[in-house]
Each structure stands twice: as C-alpha cells, then as structure tokens.
Structure 1
Amino acid sequence: MSNLDIAAENPYFDQARSAALVNGRMGEQTPERLREIMTVLVNHLHAAIKEAEITEEEWMAGIRFLTDVGHMCTDWRQEFILLSDVLGVSMLVDAVSNERPEAATANTVLGPFYVQNSPHYPNGHNICLDGKGEPLVISGRVVDEAGRPVAGAEVDVWQTNDEGFYDVQQKGIQPDYNLRGVFTTDEQGEYWLKSVKPRHYPIPHDGPVGRLLTALGRHPNRPAHIHFIVRGEGFQTVTTHIFAPDCPFLASDPVFGVKKSLIADFRRVEDQALAEKYGLAAPFWHVEWDFVLVAA
C-alpha cells in the first residue's frame, strides 16, 4: 500500500505509521525530486525519533539549538554550513556529487574563506606578502588520467598565514590577497609557486556549533592545509586541499575534510644551492604535488 493510500484510508495520527501519513499528504503536483527527497527525510527523521525515544524536552532543546544557529548567521558567517561541516554532511554531499575515478585528484570542501578574482601571478611568484612563516615551495604538474600534460590550466591557491588566519579574517593586519594567487601551467603542464608552510587553525567555535563540539568532546582545530581549485578547459574543475603530514590534528579534522590521498609529503630542504635556485634561504619546505583531472 502506498503512502497516499495509507493517508487516504485513515487520515488520523497513528504512531506506527506516522511517516507514511506525513508523506501521504503531499499533493499530486509535488515535483518528483522534491517528493523523493522529502519521503526519505521524513522516513529517517521519524525512525530516529522512535529509535532514540526522543522526549518533548529533548526535542525542544533541539529546536532551541537550531534557533540559536539561525541567530548566529550573518552576511559573513553561515552557522548552518558550519553545522553541516561538523556533522560530516558537507563532505558527504561533496563526495556524492563529485565521484571520480580512483586515479583522479579527490575533491574536498571549498571552505568559507575562498575569494574570487585573486591576482594572477607568473610561475615562481611568492604569494606570502607579509614575510611571516617558514618558506615553502610547491611545484608539480596538472595532467589528465593518461598522464598527458594539461597546458593553460589555472591553479587557484589560498591558505592561512603563520598565525592560522586567512587575510579576510584580519583586514588591516594582513595585506589584501595575502597567501592567495592564481597560476597557469606551461606547455608541460607544470606550475610552481612560493608560499609558507601552513598551520592548523580553529573553525569558529564561539557559537552553538562550538558548544555542540564541546558537549561531544571534540576540538575545533582544522589540520594544516592548503586550498586549491584547478580548472582546465575540457576538464571537470577540482576543489581540493593538500594536508601537512605532521599536523597533530590530521586524524581528527572537525569537518572531516581529510582524505588519505590528499596527505602530502612536506620535505625539509637544507641544500643552500637548491634554495638559491628558488630564490630562498635554506632551510625551506618543498611539496611536489600533481593534479590529475577528469574530462568534462
């Protein structure tokens, strides 16, 4: 018997068939995709309430929590996205939406601090504008699944400074577009740039989501990482991170953004001759990282 038949046969509330009754109230004009999504959501929500035996007091506490989440939202802070992040939902939606072959570079979440129209720089440019932090060279190639170079691909990169803040979080303290830039691959698909070694930082935890993390015995610290968006004509755009392997929070990212394939090898280089080649002083850090794109 369909949900519609159940609702028509007996339109009055019954705990045993509560979800079917709610879903049966949808009209014939309801778009099919909306019908599908709402049916699944209602089924699981009702099942969760029954399984956990949620009390009226607990349900009201949940409503107050969601109300607080809404009140925390501003033009520059989206507490509901933060809630989605710490529940692992943002990464799950990203994974479902961006399934790629195993050999391709994995996607991960964009994060709240991406800025469009960052400056375009020639390969080798240093995006650290304030001179703080341990020098880092990032170099590699953008290739297709067969290993062929993708020339003219854009490598859009951004990260925190040595104190764990993005430039947009410290207006007037950091230079605008500090540790941001867009680079273009050459005919061999190669790119390289100078930056600084990233460090961990806490997600905003002064609101209801932070209180939830505390109640769950979880910390707010994202492991050290560098963001990338890589775009190549005729290829799917990839939004991803690379992570520093020595970060103490690597295995406990509060937004579940770490994938094993995105943990990079940060090598400490003592060779002064090699440092001079890159226009740096030893020691410095070096990451070699290739991006593998999938045809659109």
Structure 2
Amino acid sequence: MSIRVHDRPDVQQFLRTLSGLEQPGGDPRVKQIVHRLMSDLFKAIDELDITPDEYWAGIAWFNAIGAAGQAGLISPGLGLDHFLDLRMDAKDAELGIHGDTPRTIEGPLYVAGAPVEHGFARLDDGRDTDGHPLIMHGTVYGADGKPVPGATVEVWHCDTRGFYSHFDPTGEQAPFNMRRTIIADDLGRYRFRSIVPKGYGVPPGSPTEQLLSALGRHGQRPAHIHFFVGDDAHRKLTTQINIAGDPLVDDDFAYATREGLVPDIIEHPDANGAEADGITGAHAEIRFDFHLTALVEGEDNQRVERQRAAA
C-alpha cells in the first residue's frame, strides 16, 4: 500500500501533543527523545506498512523481554551496546585521546560488591572440577606510560557451564564465585588464579533467542573475561578479553570482540613457577596489560551510570 499519513499536519501535531512538548511540566530532554523516537516509529509503520497484527506481536515480545529480564541481553544482541562504544571512540578521537586498551561492552551480568584482594586473588572456589586452571596477570599503566600503583581491577567471568554467580539458574555457585576486585601492587601489577571460562548462549526458547532466530542469527558468545579498571587520576576502562582459539571469537552475537582484546593463551604442562598461586600441574596463562587514559578536564567522561545488580 502507498498510504502515508506521517507527514500530515494533524499527525505532526499529534506527535507534539503525545510527547508533551506543549506542556509546561516534565523533563525537556525526555520530551525531546520521546518525540524523536515516536516520530521515527510512526514513520516506520507508514513506510513498511506494518500491520496491526505485526505491531501487537511486537508489543507481546516487549512484554516477554521485560518479564524475562532480558532487555540488557537483547541490547548487545542488536548492536546497541557496540554502537555506543563506537560513539565514545569517535568522541575520544575528536578530543585527541588514544587508548591502547580498547573499550568494549560491559554486558548485563556485573555485580557490585565483590571481595577486595591486594595484588593477587583467587576467583574460583575450586568446585568446578571441569575447569582448566588459569593464571592471568599483567600491569596497569597510566596515561603517562608509567605503572599505576593501587589501580583497581574488577574482574568477573562465567564457569564451564556458561553460568555466572548470582545469575546461575541452578543455584550451585556461591556468592561472588569468579568475581573479585584486585588492588594493583606498588608496581601496578595484578594477578589472579581462576579457571578458563567457556562460551555460552542466550537462554533457549527465550524472547532474545526468538528474535535472533527470526533474524537468522545465533545467540552464542565466545569465552571471555570482563574487567573494570581505573583509579582516581584516570578514566574508568570497561573492557573484556576473549579466550584465543575459541571458534566464536569473530562471531560474537554481542559484537564485543575488538582488535587488541584477544591475547594469546599459553599452555603449561606443569606448574612452571606458579606453585605460590596454588597451581600444582598443567595450567593456562594469559599475560595482559591495561592502559588507562587521563581524565578530561578533571572529569571521567566515559563513566556510565546504569542500573547494576548489587549484593
């Protein structure tokens, strides 16, 4: 059909009315955003000839995504989280800021309040007997290229089943399993022992999977480890590394893989000097340094305020 009503004066006035643009109260920024989004939606309905059946199917899907608590899951799946990162990259480029460690998406599974350790931490509690021991270590460097003593390294990842503590549907993991906050030592070094995580997928049959399937896409992620890194003199870095060799490194449904965030994984057939970390045999090692960027006019212009889980 060629029926178009979006540009009619009465529809344009209706958009202003429903967005509260002519009302004295409310939040001007919310009004601006709602007006733009609703205008774009009305236009899409017009141009794509979206039927009432299709529209209400979409409403049912939104209800399902909310009931499942998966808005934070479909957001990276539709590329929104990555797009926000690209915009932040562009803002940095405009300011002449170059970060040697790329940012990438946070994901929806961070939990505030992880136990704090100094220099070294063991993340896993040893109960995941399928786990391959991992030692990861490196140095946090500042904008001047020097180590940052006392930098904060928050780290979290899933188990070999793809489940995160506090979100584990089986309830098997203890609170803060595979989650720690590490305070770098006097030389800016951090080190932790854990297990090599596995990749995972969105919940089968979930509204997230239903939409991805309709798009002809999968909902799988490669194995990865999340980080928040920073200190008072630098901007907070949100990033994650992928486990090299995972077949999905370049096919992540959440679009989090970025060049420079896939360090080599070194396999050791024995303890190889890691006895002090409690390692007695074969294990994997990852060496990875973080490079922070300076505050902008004394402010952290890349810190993101969003609703996060806390325990």
* TM-score using structure 1 length: 0.83
More divergent stretch after superposition (103-112 vs 225-234) = 103-112
Percent of aligned pairs sharing the same letter: 30
Separation in 2, partners of 1:165, 1:67: 25
- Letter of the 1:53 counterpart: D
Separation in 1, partners of 2:14, 2:242: 45
Separation in 1, partners of 2:229, 2:239: 8
Query: Within 5 Å, which residues of 2 pair with 1:37-52?
Result: 37-52=33-48
Shift of 1:54: 1.6
Shift of 1:14: 4.0
Relative distance call for 1:261 and 1:39 in structure 2 (3 A) is farther
2:183 aligned residue: 184
- Letter of the 1:233 counterpart: D
Give structure 2 stretches of 5+ with no counterpart: 296-311
Query: Within 5 Å, which residues of 2 pair with 1:1-296?
Result: 14-17=5-8, 20-25=12-17, 26-27=21-22, 29=24, 31-70=27-66, 72-73=67-68, 78-96=69-87, 99-100=91-92, 101-131=97-127, 132=129, 133-168=131-166, 169=168, 172-270=171-269, 272-276=271-275, 278-296=277-295
More divergent stretch after superposition (187-196 vs 123-132) = 123-132
2:76/2:107 contact within 8 Å kept:
no
1:268/1:286 contact within 8 Å kept:
yes
Separation in 1, partners of 2:157, 2:73: 18
Shift of 1:175: 2.9
Separation in 2, partners of 1:61, 1:290: 47
Secondary structure at 1:262's aligned position in 2? coil
Shift of 1:164: 1.7
More divergent stretch after superposition (41-50 vs 57-66) = 41-50
The number of residue pairs the alignment matches comes to 279
More divergent stretch after superposition (31-40 vs 286-295) = 31-40
- Letter of the 2:198 counterpart: R
2:124/2:178 contact within 8 Å kept:
yes
Separation in 2, partners of 1:43, 1:264: 44
Separation in 1, partners of 2:100, 2:274: 31
1:275/1:284 contact within 8 Å kept:
no
Whichever structure has more helix as a proportion of its residues is: 1
Give structure 1 stretches of 5+ with no counterpart: 1-12
Shift of 1:172: 5.0
* TM-score using structure 2 length: 0.79
